[in-house]
Amino acid sequence: MSHWPSARNTLAVPLLGSLLLSACASPNVPPKESPSITAPENPVGPRSTLTHEEAQTRSRQILRPTYNLWFGLDADHDDYEGRAVINFDLRPKARDASKTVFLDFEQGTIRSVTLNGVHLESPDYDGYRLRFRTAELAPQTNRIEIAFSRAYATTGGGLRKFKDPQDGLAYAYTALAPFAAQRIFPCFDQPDLRASFEVTVEAPQDWQVISSTLERETVTAGERRSWAFPPSPLLGTQGFTLHAGPYKTWKGSAEGIPLRLLSRRSVSGQVDAEEWFRTARHGLDYYSVQFGYPYPYSKFDQLIVPAAGDTVLSAAATASFAESLAFRPPAETGAKHERAKAILRQLAHNWFGNLVTVRWWNGTWLTEGLATFLSTEALARATGPERELGPLTHLFEGGSQVRARGKAAWEEFFLLKLRAYEQDADRAAPAGDPSAEKAGALLKQLSFQLGEDEFRDGVQRFFLRYALRSVSPGDFFKMLTEASARDLSRWRGAWLRGGSMNTVRAEWACEDDKITRFVLIQGGSEPRPHRTKVALYRLPRRAGSARALEPNETLEVAYAQAKTPVPAALKKRCPDLVFPNHDDLDYVSVELDPTSLATAQLHLASVSDTLARRMLWHSLRDMALSGKFAASDFTALALKLLPRERDPGLVLLLCGWLWSPASAHRAVATQLPAPEREKFLEQLDSLLLRSLEHAPPRSELQLAWLEAFTNAVSTKSGLETARAFLEGRRKIPGLPLSTEQRARLQQRFPGTPAVQ
């Protein structure tokens, strides 16, 4: 589709400044064009990806790229117009590396191309790459001017547009993942070619436009307005951001840094702006101190966008959050906590991922892992006792004092860690780069191994050394080595190259109520270096005392061999249960010794610490799956203790571990003989329904039971009850079903109408 010139491109042009293309001196005169080159609908041959080898070759050809970008946006068209001026230097040996240099631009339309002032009649564009022969390029500085258009992205990364069904207003927003900037504009789309971006946007007069910097000026002409943004600091292409639309905007500040929050107008009544600003202020304060480097940008914008699922995306000075995350009901399990965690994680990416960029996409596990771990630490510190319950204690209103004192952040981190455990369990020898969850867990473990101060010192050295540069993961570990004076080559080799997950078990003996022997036994494909806390649990011995199972003492232990004696445990009082991963500091599957296993079966419900109780249950589940604890004993224990459980997170975990049609291969019930399994599933469905209907109305616990019921119900009678809930023939006491809850139930019954 061509609509040049159009009403959306008629604003007076002085604002464009250096962006003016030589062929676009007047907004009413189209640039000198060759026939537009549009990407074929079903291309054969062009590369829609970029290999590491191709990126390395291009890095040997060019340096110091800059982008001047102009976009013409409106509410009516399915595509947008753009112009780009790209300047870069050609390296002396560029022609030796390859005979061509190319820009990435997926499925766009090229209207005109000018190279160093010379109009190209037939640009070499195949729908994915715009190529230039190195023989045509100047020995040093080159300038490419491109007029283009592209359809808004409907899937994947790119510039998306959403039309609000409630009021008909349109919103545009970027959704960038690795190698997605080239789905917006022509660019050298690889992380190590950092560049500055100077952006101008022409949009309807009532729209707000957001980019990586604060707008320099705006000019209004009729129903259109032009927004000019100054050049950004050096960014990777994935740090580019552009949002535009008639957003409702809230403003705040944090120590002089402007804060903004934006949402669609039709949902703005659901927004608690102060909650978002309070979390952002804490993150900016905490990270600036911990990282030893001030926030590197001129503002921080948060946008609530109509993205699918729980999408959360970060770019330089900007973070966007899906409405499903932003507007989760306050009573829903961990809703405020999830929002705060998402805000802090995306804020951390302004340092990890934007201030410092990975050299290639296979290094993003490091930035994702650091953001995952350190944002959890930031959230825990914000609610910990050293902050007198901290600035974010409101996130846990109604919760216990223990949870308010920073515990909840690490309890939720354990849930992320479980995903990594499951990934490892589903692969006999996991290889390749770790997931964000596993990377975060490994970095937490490494921080404990090195020491908190040494790890923080290494992070600070990293930013001071590599700010505004691209790095490999090895550069980060080099800084940790300098800070800790410890060789991390063995740790990296053992933990980052794959292999099955380690197990750990304590072997111990006592005489006269004193420990006489204590050894940690490490299992798995190969021993790895670990550091952990060993908790010695002991029941009260005095008559009349409550039989609470609590740690009597903890020991910090480093172990790297198949067998590691622990002399510090000798002569300690004889424990009733030993748990060799207290506080979840190690990345390991814990197997309970026979004495500890027997104690857990009798007294697990009396463990008051939520994280410890979750971890003990997880150990029992792993042992049941591996045949070291009878599946029938595990299911019987769960049926006995679940009705008394008050932790919503553990209710969901435990019910999923017992039975889930979606992941039956990892469910303990699968280990039962068929007749015994059928009886158990009937008992489980009955328990789920009873607990759902008797839980406090609209509480986090009742919501957890509803989710557990939805996920696990499987018998004929249980499914009939679920169908009755969906169709409105039966009500849950005190809990009207939300649209999202109906959708989850609907997935169990395709084709069944849901009563609204």
pLDDT digits (tens, 9 = 90+) for 405-463: 468 899 999 999 999 998 887 764 455 688 889 999 999 999 999 999 999 999 999 99
Query: What was the pLDDT predicted at 92?
Result: 92
pLDDT digits (tens, 9 = 90+) for 680-730: 999 999 999 999 999 999 898 999 999 999 999 999 999 999 999 998 999
Query: What was the pLDDT predicted at 386?
Result: 43
CB within 8 Å of 580: residues ≥ 6 apart: 504, 505, 506, 520, 532, 534, 535, 557, 586, 590
The answer on pLDDT for 557 being more than 70 is yes
For residue 200, give both structure tokens: 């101008």
> 88 pairs with which residues across the strands?
142
8 Å CB contact between 449 and 491: yes
The answer on pLDDT for 11 being more than 60 is no
| Average pLDDT of the chain, as a whole number | 89
What integer is the mean pLDDT of 632-660?
A: 96
What integer is the mean pLDDT of 138-158?
A: 94
Query: What was the pLDDT predicted at 309?
Result: 61
The answer on pLDDT for 590 being more than 90 is yes
| Distance in angstroms (rounded) separating the CA atoms of residues 617 and 600 | 9
Query: What was the pLDDT predicted at 22?
Result: 36
Phi, psi of 127 (to 5 degrees): 100, -10
What integer is the mean pLDDT of 485-494?
A: 94
The answer on pLDDT for 577 being more than 90 is yes
| Distance in angstroms (rounded) separating the CA atoms of residues 631 and 653 | 16
8 Å CB contact between 175 and 47: no
The answer on pLDDT for 520 being more than 50 is yes
Residue type, 536: L
The answer on pLDDT for 383 being more than 70 is no
Phi, psi of 89 (to 5 degrees): -100, 140
Helix/strand/coil (H/E/C) assignment for every residue in 320-358: EEEHHHHCCCCCCCCHHHHHHHHHHHHHHCCCECCCEEE
* SS3 (DSSP) at 190: coil
The answer on pLDDT for 402 being more than 50 is no
The answer on pLDDT for 15 being more than 90 is no
What integer is the mean pLDDT of 518-530?
A: 94
What integer is the mean pLDDT of 155-182?
A: 93
